[in-house]
Amino acid sequence: MSQPHTSKNHSLSRISDYPIDPVFLKRWSPLSFSSEKITEDTLYSLLEAARWTPSAYNSQPWRFVYAMRDTALWPEFIELLVEGNRSWAKQAAAIIFIISKTTLTSPISGIEQDAPSHSFDAGAAWMAMALQATQMGLATRPMTGVYFDKAREILKVPESYHIDAAIAVGHPNTTIPLEESHSRRMKFSNMRRSIHEISGEGYFKF
């Protein structure tokens, strides 16, 4: 019989090869959320953590568009997700779309130019948000299973911005067993390549 999935059980199955802060092992991306809501202030705490992320030239390319569950906006946001994500994300407390500005103004020349690190910076902002959520007993799950063209239209995102991902936020449901397919996905999510597979001194040789 499948066991309920909890952050404790999840982190116990993760072992780092080198010493790191426990929050990195405790952070996880559940496939089941409870129906418990969060306050807007709680959501703002997550966004506040993301706000302090470093970025190229301090350009802060990230923008966050969100909907809270059981609001008028919620059905529209859920419809922007592919069916596989919609089925579980509808129980989350909020959905946040992370959107990044693809250009920045050079502080040296004052000229608008391409921002090659816009998605890199936005991804760092998500990680800050995810770790803050973990510290608050919440969980986040990023998704690229999104109807991006439809999201651009519905959310009225200009062409000069890139939609990076959608993030489900809420309280993980720790009372129900995972379906077999989800259980396999969660087991796979605990796997990490070794340091020596992903890093090396000198030239690229992977």
| Domain harbouring 68, CATH code | 3.40.109.10
Per the domain annotation, does 21 fall within a domain?
Answer: no
Return the minimum-mean-pLDDT range out of 89-98, 145-154, 166-175, 179-188: 179-188
Return the minimum-mean-pLDDT range out of 4-8, 21-25, 53-57: 4-8
Does residue 3 surpass a pLDDT of 80?
Answer: no
Per the domain annotation, does 39 fall within a domain?
Answer: yes
How far is the C-alpha of 58 from the C-alpha of 60, rounded, in Å? 5
Per the domain annotation, does 124 fall within a domain?
Answer: yes
Question: What mean pLDDT is predicted for residues 147-160?
Answer: 98
The number of domains in the chain is 1
Question: What mean pLDDT is predicted for residues 99-113?
Answer: 94
Question: What mean pLDDT is predicted for residues 61-89?
Answer: 97
> What amino acid is encoded at 171 in this protein?
H
The pLDDT of residue 182 is 54
Does residue 186 surpass a pLDDT of 70?
Answer: no
Per the domain annotation, does 43 fall within a domain?
Answer: yes
Per the domain annotation, does 200 fall within a domain?
Answer: no
Q: Which domain holds residue 99?
A: 33-171
User: What residues contact 12, with CB distance under 8 A and at least 6 apart?
Assistant: none
The pLDDT of residue 199 is 94
Number of H helices, E strands in the chain: 9, 6
Per the domain annotation, does 181 fall within a domain?
Answer: no
Does residue 5 surpass a pLDDT of 50?
Answer: no
How far is the C-alpha of 24 from the C-alpha of 20, rounded, in Å? 7
Per the domain annotation, does 90 fall within a domain?
Answer: yes
